């Protein structure tokens, strides 16, 4: 079956030079990446988070870029049927396919020129993050600064999901827009709730931004609420995009990925250059999740200390208070950016060390060589702990990580005995609460904890 569709948005009108570039990129080294990301978008709503299984199921799917006088068409071969209604592609899916075209093919060779023009590697990476977001129209200077990022697990129970919707509803009533990792669970709930809040306030231009990256998009495909999809090159640039776009962060219950996100933002804010930064962070969930947050809080206290704990607030079972707190804190965020001359919609002044920016490849060797000791610099320890959880996410749901675990066995994670004991307990609690895989999927740990002697 062949179905041809036209891209929409800023990919609908292209020069012949741009068309030639797209056709070249679509047939060279990024073809598989492009194909897999398009498949993930077309397959949104599937009941598995096993990326490798999805790619195998649709092994006969392919996509070609066809040249037209005024631009291009995309030829889809054997696409998933659920992306179409009465033979026509769903409009929201068509928009997201266009986002894949833009972020994977159009920007593929866009950044070769910057190496010699910027003064540091960190500056280069931040420029790339900014440029991708600007090219996707995710940075809108003429709009109110009111974007809240919501982090949390794709595998949460119904009570937690209902709570994420209530928080989103309360945020929507207060004119906040929502940014998430774009998938199901705690990523979908706040967006769905915010649509109701926006509807009651007669807000017709609500923004539901989904930030993803190629290796996770199949396991966590864009949910139906996402109306702005941006695909960052890797998890590190995705996390930086979250932090620089946001005016506040809400963290719901989750698993290894949520722990990674929390460690990332704490590691950054612990740096001395960020002590004056204003970015409210709230950890929240229903009453049944209170123990979950106690375990997270205890882990942070024992590894990163009280200074890290002071960077966030835990609010249990009070969605309205979460939204009111963020509304009051927004004034502090805006005032700080006015005083420092920083951008309202992209936080340039946030200092991010290169250890939080360079892509970490979760190989067995890299995972085993991570240093985890309490006498380390706190930010470096946070960076390495983040990499541990990033590797576990890869082994759980990312195609390359699943294949690596199948071929070579589980990752070995070693470090100081106290830290390993804390991590073992935390991960075990995630497994018991079914936070590592979607419900109904048997979870086989992709890691082993080895404890060093103190």
Are residues 104 and 214 in contact, defined by beta-carbon separation less than 8 angstroms? yes
User: Mean pLDDT in the chain?
Assistant: 90
Report long-range pairs for 268-275 (Cβ below 8 Å, ≥24 apart).
Answer: 268/243, 268/350, 268/351, 268/352, 268/353, 268/356, 268/379, 269/311, 270/304, 270/307, 270/308, 270/311, 270/378, 270/379, 270/382, 271/351, 271/353, 271/379, 273/351, 274/350, 274/351
Give percent above pLDDT 70 in the chain: 95
Q: Are residues 252 and 327 in the same domain?
A: yes
Confidence of residue 451 (pLDDT cuts 50, 70, 90): low
pTM for this prediction: 0.91
* Residues 145-186: tens digit of each pLDDT: 999 999 999 889 999 999 999 999 999 999 999 999 999 999
CATH number of the structural domain spanning residue 76: 3.30.1850.10
Q: Are residues 129 and 277 in the same domain?
A: yes
Question: Which range is least confidently modeled, 20-24, 121-125, 339-343?
Answer: 20-24
Judged against a pLDDT cut of 80, whether residue 116 lies above it is answered with no
Question: Which range is least confidently modeled, 65-79, 84-98, 244-258, 301-315?
Answer: 65-79
Judged against a pLDDT cut of 90, whether residue 188 lies above it is answered with yes
Burial 363-396 (b: 16+ CB within 10 A, else e): bbeebeebebeeebebbebbbbbbbbbbbbbbbb
Confidence of residue 368 (pLDDT cuts 50, 70, 90): very high
Which pLDDT belongs to residue 32? 86
Q: Are residues 140 and 57 in the same domain?
A: no
Q: Which domain holds residue 10?
A: 2-106
* Residues 2-29: tens digit of each pLDDT: 889 999 988 887 888 888 888 888 788 7
The rounded distance, in Å, linking the Cα atoms of 391 and 9 is 35
Are residues 73 and 4 in contact, defined by beta-carbon separation less than 8 angstroms? yes
User: In this structure, is residue 57 part of a structural domain?
Assistant: yes
User: In this structure, is residue 278 part of a structural domain?
Assistant: yes
Confidence of residue 400 (pLDDT cuts 50, 70, 90): confident
Q: Are residues 186 and 51 in the same domain?
A: no
Confidence of residue 112 (pLDDT cuts 50, 70, 90): low
Q: Are residues 272 and 374 in the same domain?
A: no
Q: Are residues 82 and 97 in the same domain?
A: yes
pLDDT mean over 364-379:
92
Q: Are residues 141 and 217 in the same domain?
A: yes
Name, of 190-194, 379-383, 395-399, the range with top average pLDDT: 190-194
| Nearest residue to 384 (alpha-carbon basis) of 406, 416, 410 | 416
Q: Are residues 178 and 276 in the same domain?
A: yes
Which pLDDT belongs to residue 106? 83
Which pLDDT belongs to residue 452? 62
pLDDT mean over 66-73:
82
Which pLDDT belongs to residue 338? 95
Q: Are residues 332 and 394 in the same domain?
A: no
Selected residue with higher pLDDT from 63 and 319: 319
Confidence of residue 197 (pLDDT cuts 50, 70, 90): very high
Domain boundary among 76, 106, 136: 106
Grouping H, G, I as helix, E, B as strand and the rest as coil, residue 177 is: strand
């Amino acid at each position: 079956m062949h179905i041809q569709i036209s891209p929409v948005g800023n990919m609908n009108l292209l020069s012949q030079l741009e068309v030639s570039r797209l056709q070249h990129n679509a047939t060279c080294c990024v073809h598989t990446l492009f194909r897999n990301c398009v498949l993930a978008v077309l397959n949104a709503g599937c009941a598995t988070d096993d990326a490798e299984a999805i790619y195998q199921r649709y092994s006969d799917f392919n996509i070609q870029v066809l040249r037209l006088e005024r631009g291009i068409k995309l030829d889809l071969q054997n696409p998933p049927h659920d992306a179409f209604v009465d033979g026509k592609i769903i409009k929201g899916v068509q928009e997201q396919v266009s986002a894949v075209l833009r972020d994977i093919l159009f920007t593929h060779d866009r950044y070769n020129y910057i190496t010699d023009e910027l003064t540091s590697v960190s500056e280069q990476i931040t420029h790339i993050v900014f440029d991708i977001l600007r090219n996707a129209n995710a940075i809108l200077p003429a709009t109110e600064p009111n974007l809240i990022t919501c982090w949390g697990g794709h595998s949460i129970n119904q009570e937690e999901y209902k709570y994420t919707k209530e928080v989103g509803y309360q945020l929507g009533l207060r004119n906040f827009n929502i940014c998430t990792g774009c998938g199901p669970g705690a990523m979908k709930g706040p967006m769905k709730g915010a649509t109701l809040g926006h509807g009651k306030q007669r807000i017709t231009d609500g923004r539901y931004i989904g930030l993803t990256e190629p290796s996770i998009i199949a396991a966590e495909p864009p949910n139906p609420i996402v109306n702005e999809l941006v695909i960052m090159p890797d998890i590190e640039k995705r996390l930086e995009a979250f932090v620089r776009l946001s005016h506040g962060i809400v963290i719901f219950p989750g698993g290894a990925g949520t722990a990674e996100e929390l460690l990332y933002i704490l590691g950054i804010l612990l740096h001395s250059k960020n002590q004056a930064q204003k970015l409210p962070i709230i950890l929240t969930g229903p009453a049944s999740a209170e123990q979950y947050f106690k375990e997270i809080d205890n882990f942070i206290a024992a590894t990163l200390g009280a200074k890290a704990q002071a960077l966030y607030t835990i609010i249990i079972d009070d969605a309205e208070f979460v939204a009111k707190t963020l509304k009051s804190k927004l004034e502090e965020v805006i005032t700080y950016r006015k005083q420092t001359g920083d951008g309202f919609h992209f936080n340039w002044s946030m200092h991010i060390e290169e250890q939080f920016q360079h892509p970490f490849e979760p190989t067995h060797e890299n995972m085993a060589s991570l240093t985890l000791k309490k006498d380390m610099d706190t930010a470096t320890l946070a960076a390495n702990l983040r990499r541990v959880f990033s590797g576990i996410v890869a082994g759980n749901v990312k195609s390359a990580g699943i294949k690596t675990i199948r071929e070579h066995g589980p990752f070995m994670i070693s470090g100081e005995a106290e830290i390993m004991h804390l991590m073992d307990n935390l991960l075990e609690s995630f497994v018991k609460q079914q936070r590592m895989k979607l419900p109904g999927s048997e979870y086989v740990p992709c890691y082993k904890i080895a404890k060093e002697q103190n």
